Homo-oligomer: A and B are copies of this chain.
Amino acid sequence: MHLTRFTDYSLRVLIYLAVKGEQRSTITEIAERFEISRNHLMKVVQDLNHRGYITAIRGKNGGLLLKRAPETIRLGELVRDTERDMNLVECFGDANECVITPACRLKPILAEALNAFLAVLDHYTLADLMGPQRPKLIGLLQLDDVPPAS
């Protein structure tokens, strides 16, 4: 069981933009700092922009900014948005062919477990991922020109 790379990278983009605050960022810059694929990031950024998490400003002085305050972005909401396939096992999906489905309680029990998973994530926001560690994150990301106090 794991989250997709798409969700992982979505979280990294949002953390990066949250750390930068008012300063604009580029996809190239984020890809370099995390040493991850620029191509993957492009799709992630397009999706986050489409869903209203971030703003992509075009032009010479353009760049990426968070569109919502970090305190308002619940992690459960984000994971529901970025994980396209939450079908834990075959009987969750439309193509289910398991013969015992009408009498088996696996699906409702797993659904209860999934809800518990997401309920924990709904308790936390993007701001909680940083906590009081923003200055340390600035250092780790080598963002020397970003002021430590937001």
List A residues at the B interface (Cβ < 8 Å).
Answer: 1-4, 7-8, 11-12, 15, 33-35, 75, 79, 83, 85-90, 97-100, 102-106, 109-110, 112-114, 116-121, 124, 128-131, 133, 136-137, 140-141
Contacts and interface: CB of A to CB of B under 8 A. Distances in A.
Contact of A104 (B2, B88, B133): B133
B35 A89 contact: no
A89 B109 CA distance: 24
B83 A141 contact: no
Contacts of A136: 102-103
A41 to B, nearest CB: 14
Nearest to A120: B113
